Amino acid sequence: MASGFGLNGGPGRCYAFWQEVLGCYVVNSPEGETGKKKCTPALDDYYECLHHRKEALRTMKMQAAYRKAEAASPARTPPAQSKSAAWVCSGRKRRLLQCCHNCEMGTVK
């Protein structure tokens, strides 16, 4: 918020950016519209702090690239269950996902 107060009473997370924008406007406002255009980078930083749109876009692009690379790689086969993992299925000590699945199916005791 532009008031400067955050949720817990301290300064808001974007208040420093807002002060930068206001300072830029105060210094450049006598120049009119051309002076305000000088403040565009500071205003963009403030909006990014508020809404995280650039960050979200970058994250979506990284996730898409990861999914594309994952789809292009050959499928991995799950490793075979070792005998040392089979004892974990006894009683309530089910720790391995594959082992627990086998215990529920009744294949390993």
Q: List the chain domain ranges.
A: 15-72, 82-109
Name the more confident of 11 and 6: 11
Instruction: Let me know: does 99 contact 108? Beta carbons within 8 Å.
Output: yes
List the structure tokens of 102: 């086998």
What digits encode the pLDDT tens for the residues 20-71? Answer: 999 999 999 888 888 889 999 999 999 999 999 999 999 999 999 999 998 8
| C-alpha span between 103 and 97 (Å, rounded) | 10
2 pLDDT tier (thresholds 50, 70, 90)? low
Using the 8-state DSSP alphabet, how is residue 18 labeled? H
From the CB of residue 88, how many other CB atoms can be counted at a distance below 10 Å? 15
Estimate to the nearest angstrom the gap between the alpha carbon of 72 and the chain centroid.
24
- Model pLDDT, residue 109: 43
**Whole-number mean pLDDT of the chain?**
77
Give the whole-number percent of the chain exceeding pLDDT 90.
44
Residue 14: Cβ within 10 Å count: 20
pLDDT at 93 (0 to 100): 46
pLDDT for residue 4: 66
Query: Nearest to residue 1, comparing CAs of 14, 17, 10?
Result: 14
The pLDDT of residue 76 is: 67
